[in-house]
A and B are shown apart, each in its own frame.
Chain A
Amino acid sequence: MERMMLQLVMREEMSGAQSFLDYVETITPGYSRLDMCIQCGTCGGSCPSGGDMDHTPRHLFALIRADMKDEVLASNTPWYCISCYLCMSRCPQEVHITDLMYTLKSIAIEEGHVSENTAANLSETFLSYVESYGRSFELGLATRFYLRHHPKESMGMAGMGFGMLTRGRMVITPEKIKRIGQLRSILNRAKELEAAL
C-alpha cells in the first residue's frame, strides 16, 4: 500500500505536477467547467455524431481526468464534433463541452497526431486563408483541400464550381481586407500569449 502511494506521488512529480485535466482547463479560453462534470452521460445521449465517435464526450472527459492523454488525443471524438452545442445546452453542469472539443483538436494538431486527418486539414487550410486574406475564400479553400486529399474527386470540383458559378454563388478571386497587417499583428500577439499559458 505504501509502495503504491509512493509510486503515485512519484508519478505526479515526474509529470511536472500539472495533470492533463489542469492543462486542458488552463488553455481553454473562458471557464470550461470541466472539473464540474458529474459523468451523467447527457452529452453522449444528445450527440448527433455519437454513432461515429470512439468515445462519448462523457467517456472522453473521464479519460482526461484519469490523465490518459494519449488515448484522448488518439480518439476521433473531437473530430466528429460538428459544433451543434446540443450537449452544451443540455449539460446540467454547464460544462463548455463544445469548447473543450476545440481545445482537444488544437492539442492534437500541436502535438502532431493528425497527419491523415481530413478534418484537421480542413481547419488548417481555412486558417491559412484567413491569415493570408482576412477572409475565407471557398473556391480556393475547396480547391486546395480537394487536390490535397481527394485528387480523384477534385475532377468533380468543376461540376460543383459550375453549379455555384452559374448561380452567382462563387467568388473567383479572393478578397483581401485593407488592414491585413493589423490583423496579423493581433493574431501574432495572441499566439505569443497562447504559447505562454
Chain B
Amino acid sequence: MKLIFYPGCSMLGPARPYMESLTAIEPLLEMELQEVEDWNCCGATEYMAVHRLPAYALVARNLAIAQKQSNGSRTVMAACSACYLNLAKTDKYMADSIEMNVSVNDALAAGGLSYDPGSLRIRHLLDVLYTDIGLEKIRARVTRPLNGLKIAPYYGCMIVRPDPHHRWPNPENPTALEEILEALGAEAVEYPMKTRCCSGHMTLINPDTAYELIRELVHSATISQADLLATLCPMCQLNLDAYQVEMNKHFGSAYHMPVLYITQLIGLAFGLAPEQLGIGKEFIPSAPALAKIGVEIPPEAATPRRGRKKDEGLPMPQMPTRKGGPR
C-alpha cells in the first residue's frame, strides 16, 4: 500500500530507533512510504503558543506539498502523535471554517502553494496498521511470536484526543493497540493509564509536575506486571524512558520499565534482529524483558562505553517560582 509519509523532526533524532524499525518492517507489511518532499517541522506544541494563524500555515505547507505529490495515494501517515494531530487539526479546521481556509490559503499563496482541505486522509501509524493493513496481515507475518511477553499498551493523548476526524469510537478506552499486540502473540495487560498524558514538554519546564505523571504511568504498568511498555510516539518514549531515570532519582525509586515502539515489537515478532530495529538504544534496557522470548541483544547494540553511568541522566531545570506562576 502506497502512503505519503510525514516523518517529523524527532524521527531523525531522539526517535531514530522508531524510524529504523518502521523502515525495517515497511516491506514486510507491503507498505511503500514516500516522504513529504522537503517537509518542514510541524511546530509541535510550541509554535502555536507564539503565533496562531502562522502555526496552521506552517502545517498547511506540508499538506499542500503532500497534495501535489500524488504517488497514487491520498493517505498521509505520521508516526509521531503531535505531528499527526497538527496535520489532522489543520485539515479539519480549514474544512470547517471558511475564514480559516481563506486565510491559510492566502498565506500558502505567498509561497506558490495551495491546499484543498479534506482532499487527503490523515492517519496515525496506529490507524494505518489497524485499519488499512489489518490484524490478519500482521498475524500472517509473525515468525517469532512474542509468547509470554506481557506488554502495557500506551496510547498517550494526541492519537485518540481530540480526534478531529472521528477515528476512535471510544477515545477513553481504545483497544487497537492491544489487538495488535495480541496478534503478535504477546499478552496485553490491563493498563488503566493507557490514555493518560506523559506530561509532554513539562519535563523541560516543571519537572516536579512531570515526575508525578511519569511515576503514575510507570507504576501502573509495574503493578500490572508488564515486562515492558509499548508506545506510539517519540515524545512519549523519551518522557517514559529517558526521564524514568530522572524520576527514579527524584523519588529514590527503582522502577525498571523498558519502553519500546510498536514498530520494534512488530519487527521482533516478524523475526528481525534487535540491531535492525534500533533496540538497545533505550535508556532503560529492554534486554531482561526480551530474554523471556529468547531474544539476545548483542553488546555493541546496547549502551556503549563504560564508566559514565553517573552522567547519563538528563539535566533538570526548575520553574523560577513554583506557585506564583511563571511570570
Contacts and interface: CB of A to CB of B under 8 A. Distances in A.
Interface of A: 27-31, 48-49, 51-52, 54, 74-76, 79-80, 82-86, 88-89, 98, 102-103, 105-106, 109, 113-120, 122-124, 126-127, 129-130, 134-139, 145-146, 149-150, 153-160, 162-164, 166-171, 175, 177-179, 182-183, 185-191, 193-194, 197
A167 B252 CA distance: 25
Interface residues on B, range: 35 or more
B314 interface: yes
Given A52-B206, A117-B327, A126-B46, A191 B54 contact: yes
Centre residue among A123, A190, A194, A197 by max chain B CB count within 10 A: A190
A80 B209 contact: yes
Interface string B1-18: 000000001101111110
Given A175-B12, A186-B57, A80 B313 contact: no
Contact of A88 (B161, B199, B242, B316): B161
Interface of B: 9-10, 12-17, 38-41, 43-58, 61, 93, 96-97, 100, 103-104, 106-113, 157-158, 160-163, 171-172, 196-197, 199-202, 204-206, 209, 213, 242, 281-283, 303-305, 308, 310-320, 322-327
B14 A169 contact: yes
A29 B162 contact: no
Contact of A102 (B52, B61, B109, B172): B52
Given A30-B93, A85-B157, A158-B311, A189 B49 contact: no
A186 B113 contact: yes
A116 B320 CA distance: 7
A154 B315 contact: yes
B327 A119 contact: no
Contacts of A85: 157-158, 161-162
Given A156-B315, A162-B311, A170-B13, 16 more contacts: A76-B326, A88-B161, A106-B52, A119-B49, A123-B50, A124-B50, A126-B43, A130-B41, A130-B58, A150-B315, A157-B315, A160-B314, A163-B313, A169-B14, A169-B17, A187-B107
18 contacts: A29-B52, A48-B213, A76-B327, A79-B325, A80-B206, A89-B161, A102-B49, A115-B327, A118-B326, A123-B49, A126-B47, A136-B41, A153-B316, A153-B317, A183-B40, A187-B54, A189-B109, A190-B57
B319 to A, nearest CB: 6
A123 B47 contact: yes
Contacts of B53: 29, 190-191, 193-194, 197
A130 B8 CA distance: 12
Contact of B110 (A27, A170, A188): A188
A116 B327 contact: yes
| Secondary structure class of chain A's binding surface, majority of residues | helix
Contact of A74 (B202, B322, B325): B325
Contacts of A122: 46, 201, 204-205
Contact of A76 (B41, B54, B100, B325): B325
Nearest to A76: B325
B205 A119 contact: yes
A56 B271 CA distance: 50
A122 B171 CA distance: 30
A114 B327 contact: yes
Contacts of A82: 45, 197, 199-202
B19 to A, nearest CB: 11
B50 A118 contact: no
A105 B49 contact: yes
Contacts of B55: 29, 102
B22 to A, nearest CB: 15
Contact of A166 (B201, B305, B314, B326): B305
Nearest to A164: B14
A194 B202 contact: no
Nearest to A101: B49
Nearest to A82: B200
Contacts of A127: 43, 46-47, 50-51
B41 A135 contact: yes
Contacts of B318: 150
A191 B41 contact: no
